[in-house]
Amino acid sequence: MTSVDDLLGLLVLDKLSNNEFIGLSKSAGSPNVFGGQVLAQAINAAYRTITNNRTLHSLHAYFLESGHLEIPIHYEVTVLRDGGSFSVRRVTASQKKKVIFILAASFHKTEAGYSHHIEMKSNLRQPEELLSWTDILRKYNNFLPNNIKSFFEIERPIDFKPTVIANPLDRRDLPPFNDVWFRLKGNVKELDLPTKQQILTYISDYNLLVSAFNPHASKAHWGNTQTASLDHSMWFFRDFNYNDWLLFSMESPNTYGARGFARGDIFTRDGKLVASVAQEGLMRPKGQR
């Protein structure tokens, strides 16, 4: 995938019935289906059953089984509630009748109310000063481990620019933080809020566990650790545009028992808080069961 249209072609599902949809998969650098893809496709399915103009405000999901890249994913939406202010949907994703993922999503009508949000970090380098994943690949190609090189070589419709580039050959523990600027590639046409939320959900599964790896970087890395997303929650606060860089600011409060917990906030460049994310992931040393 190289463009936003390619990404939307992946996320917008084919309709089988009023509550059933089917989607295909594309690799994001893993041998299994990318968790962000399943999340975003499930939100697309849920939105297709919303007829009262309500918008997504939160989602909570569990990844139950690894998804196979070559098998279509079947999404079934259950209407749990259409109340006076909120609508709730449950989405079940399956392959060959085996459930691989479940999601609950809540939609809210537009209402006026109080407003505040935390501030974005003020001491970060701006994206124009930083290298993207593609730039890192070009500049350090001969020095990157093969697993990192092959991951960076995947074509994506998103540019990522980490504010700090850790040397993979310098095995030392780092603080449990990770800040990454991101932007859609090319000219982005005007998108409605549901579509922007689906794309943001897709992007939100990138980079999170890096902050959980950082405090253990002297001994743990992607090559010697089995990883997988276990669950994923997201809260949407404000509308935004993809016509400028956004910041995904992440931290990991805890790793324990072969699991790592990370959370993050997504800001516009001028500091408006768009969404918050939380995820627990498997971080199992290979050879351990």
Residue 200: per-residue pLDDT: 98
Question: Which residue among the candidates 37, 87, 95, 279 is catalytic per the annotation?
Answer: 279
Amino acid 110: pLDDT: 95
- The per-residue pLDDT for 289 is 67
**Taking the alpha carbons of 124, 178, 148, 219 in that order, is the dihedral positive or negative?**
positive
Q: Distance between CA 224 and CA 215 in Å, rounded?
A: 15
pTM of whole model > 0.85? yes
Does 118 reside within a domain? no
Q: Which of 25, 205, 249, 252 is labelled catalytic? A: 205
Give the contacts of 247 (CB within 8 A, at least 6 positions apart).
120, 121, 124, 179, 180, 181, 182, 266, 267, 268, 269
Identify whether 36 is part of a domain: yes
Any domain includes 269: yes
In a domain, 203, yes or no: yes
27 included as an active-site residue: no
Domain enclosing residue 157, as ranges: 4-110+125-285
Is residue 116 domain-resident? no
205 included as an active-site residue: yes
- 198 within a domain of the structure (yes/no): yes
206-235 residues labelled b (16+ CB within 10 A) or e (exposed): bbbbbbbbbbbbeebeeeebebebbbbbbb
Catalytic residue among 94, 106, 197, 229: 229
Number of domains into which the chain is organized: 1
Helical residues (DSSP H) of the chain, grouped into ranges: 4-11, 35-47, 133-140, 146-152, 193-203, 210-213
What is the CATH number for 60? 2.40.160.210
Do the domain assignments include residue 117?
no
Q: Is 279 a catalytic residue?
A: yes
* pLDDT score, position 12: 96
What's the average pLDDT block by block, 10 residues per block, for the chain (289 residues)?
Answer: 91 97 93 96 98 96 97 98 97 97 98 97 95 90 80 91 84 94 90 97 96 93 89 98 96 97 98 98 87
